[in-house]
């Protein structure tokens, strides 16, 4: 194992997979968040230094295209809409930036606490969540600066801060017999845009975007809701919490269909790809689950600290009943390393050491892995041909439990047989293709 390890490092001890370490003259504080443009050509990072930065991703070397300066406190979240960057901050504001001029063209004010998340909501709106226990819908003028009073809706009802948010389109016409908190789903007869919020009060809620009514409340978690995903048809909501559980609900009536248990500590991140759900936890593992049965088919380890972020990238090959099986599972970890696992076997394929503090966010584009860290640097890694690698020579991999791997394979084969029957639903295409 020692000889294999030397093949992955240069004479000065650097990883052979490291393409670039972008630190000097860029962010002066932790990188908290990142987002990709729709075409994958631009990356934006948000930092503790109160700035966001734009980066080119498809050039031979990653170039900093400039800083977005104006926030008076650290940036918590970023997204890209059309030709604009949207950033949320602990200064209680959301800013809209022109990507070409890098100027702030509008400031969205109204929240009375830190902005926790901001996402697009259709082409003309953005949705935000805050420590002030509310979510807000804002008019986003794609052509200009915005309006004098851009706040369209305030969604109030949670008892504690709101963190994860979703926007889904769903057909609610079959829900006339459901119990709603107010003018619920049963009053709708066609597809409607629905807002989903998750809160530290242990609940999730759905809201009508057009009326701001609370439609349903999802009760069941015993601790704060940390992350959420929805399936392609928006018929199913999946929530994860600090209570170590993942819960699968029917969207229209807030009924819990199953509880996924296996993580031993808080769940930090999730991604849904087809009928497979991937989760990361502070218990130092990532897991793969078949949502139809609630079974864990893979445990991705080792990690030596909390898994903070996860990115699943599709490869080639088929998994019975699931369709195209994801090729690689990337994880970011507080032990300063990113890792790449073979999604099907669960084997650790590649380790990316180099950061000097925990990794907070990751993105994959065109064979490159981008990692942002609390050490203030953005690093770029060669992430090609990972599935062809031999198992990683990382030292803790020597302790990998082969009997445990064999048991996982047995369980995976069993689930494969059960999934081989025809499936009426559609696959979720949330993975990024490696092709």
Could you tell me if residue 392 is inside a domain?
Answer: yes
Task: Compute the distance between CA of residue 234 and CA of residue 171 in angstroms, rounded to an integer.
Answer: 8
Q: Which residues contact 335 (CB under 8 A, 6 or more apart)?
A: 303, 304, 305, 358
pLDDT level of residue 319 (50, 70, 90 thresholds): very low
In a domain, 12, yes or no: no
In this structure, is residue 291 part of a structural domain?
Answer: yes
Asked whether residue 395 is assigned to any structural domain, the reply reads yes
| Domain annotation covers residue 346 | yes
> Is it the case that residue 196 has pLDDT exceeding 80?
yes
Confidence grade of residue 181 (pLDDT, cut at 50, 70, 90): very low
**What confidence tens digit (pLDDT) does each residue in 347-362 have?**
999 999 999 999 999 9
Query: Per the domain annotation, does 68 fall within a domain?
Result: no
Report how far residue 213's alpha carbon sits from residue 112's, in angstroms, rounded to the nearest whole number: 21
When pLDDT is averaged across residues 215-230 and rounded to a whole number, the result is 98
Cα separation of 273 and 431, whole Å?
Answer: 6
How many domains is the chain partitioned into structurally?
Answer: 1
What is the share, in percent, of the chain residues with pLDDT greater than 70? 77
pLDDT of residue 58: 86
* Domain range for 280: 262-435
Other Cβ atoms within 10 Å of 363 Cβ, number: 21
208-222 tens-digit pLDDT: 998 888 999 999 999
Q: Is residue 174 part of a domain?
A: no
Whether the bond between 176 and the residue before it is cis, its omega within 30 degrees of 0, is: no
Return the pLDDT at 401.
Answer: 44
Of 173 and 162, the one with more pLDDT: 162
> 273-277, 388-392, 407-411, 425-429: lowest mean pLDDT where?
425-429
| pLDDT tier for residue 75 given thresholds of 50, 70 and 90 | very high
Q: Which pLDDT value is given to residue 321?
A: 42
Task: Report the alpha-carbon distance of residue 260 to residue 327 in Å, rounded.
Answer: 23
Query: What pairs with residue 369 in β-bridges?
Result: 364, 381
pLDDT at 394: 57
110-132: average pLDDT = 96
- Determine the pLDDT at residue 190: 65
* CATH value at residue 371: 2.130.10.10
Hey, CA dihedral for 218, 220, 223, 225, is it positive or negative?
A: negative
Q: For residues 230 and 236, what is the distance between their CA atoms, to the nearest angstrom?
A: 6
Kindly tell me if the per-residue pLDDT of 311 is higher than 80: yes
Per the domain annotation, does 202 fall within a domain?
A: no
Q: What is the pTM of this model?
A: 0.84
Highest mean pLDDT among 69-73, 180-184, 416-420: 69-73
pLDDT of residue 24 exceeding 60: no
Average pLDDT, the chain: 84
Compute the distance between CA of residue 77 and CA of residue 45 in angstroms, rounded to an integer.
9
pLDDT at 422 exceeding the cut of 60: no
What would the pLDDT profile of 240-271 be if each residue is shown by its tens digit? 999 999 999 999 999 999 999 999 999 999 99
């Amino acid at each position: 194992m020692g000889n294999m390890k030397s093949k992955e490092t240069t004479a000065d001890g650097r990883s052979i997979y490291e393409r670039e370490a972008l630190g000097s003259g860029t962010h002066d504080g932790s990188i908290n968040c990142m987002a990709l443009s729709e075409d994958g050509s631009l990356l934006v990072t948000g930092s503790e230094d109160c700035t966001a930065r734009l980066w080119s991703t498809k050039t031979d070397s990653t170039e900093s295209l400039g800083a977005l300066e104006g926030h008076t406190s650290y940036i918590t979240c970023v997204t890209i809409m059309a030709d604009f960057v949207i950033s949320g901050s602990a200064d209680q504001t959301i800013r809209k930036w022109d990507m070409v001029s890098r100027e702030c063209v509008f400031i969205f004010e109204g929240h009375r606490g830190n902005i926790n998340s901001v996402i697009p909501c259709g082409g003309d709106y953005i949705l935000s969540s805050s420590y002030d226990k509310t979510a807000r819908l804002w008019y986003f003028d794609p052509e200009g600066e915005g309006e004098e009073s851009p706040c369209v809706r305030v969604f109030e009802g949670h008892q504690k801060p709101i963190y994860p948010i979703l926007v889904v389109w769903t057909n609610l016409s079959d829900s006339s017999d459901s119990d709603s908190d107010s003018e619920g789903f049963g009053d709708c007869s066609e597809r409607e845009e629905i807002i989903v919020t998750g809160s530290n009060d242990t609940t999730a809620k759905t809201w009508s975007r057009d009326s701001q009514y609370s439609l349903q409340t999802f009760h069941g978690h015993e601790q704060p809701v940390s992350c959420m995903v929805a399936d392609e048809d928006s018929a199913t909501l999946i929530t994860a919490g600090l209570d170590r559980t993942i819960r699968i609900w029917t969207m229209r009536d807030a009924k819990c269909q199953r509880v996924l248990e296996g993580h031993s500590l808080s769940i930090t991140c999730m991604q849904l790809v087809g009928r497979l759900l991937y989760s990361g936890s502070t218990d130092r593992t990532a897991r793969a689950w078949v949502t139809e049965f609630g079974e864990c088919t893979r445990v991705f380890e080792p990690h030596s600290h909390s898994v903070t972020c996860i990115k699943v990238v599709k490869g080639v090959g088929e998994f019975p009943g699931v369709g195209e099986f994801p090729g690689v599972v990337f994880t970011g970890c507080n032990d300063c390393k990113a890792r790449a696992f073979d999604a099907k076997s669960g084997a650790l394929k590649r380790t990316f050491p180099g950061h000097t503090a925990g990794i907070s966010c990751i993105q994959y584009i065109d064979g490159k892995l981008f990692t942002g860290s609390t050490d203030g640097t953005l690093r770029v890694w060669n992430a090609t041909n990972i599935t062809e690698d031999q198992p990683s020579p990382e030292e803790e991999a020597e302790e990998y439990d082969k009997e445990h791997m064999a048991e996982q394979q047995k369980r995976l084969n069993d689930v494969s047989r059960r999934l081989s029957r025809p499936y009426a639903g559609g696959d979720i295409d949330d993975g990024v293709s490696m092709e």
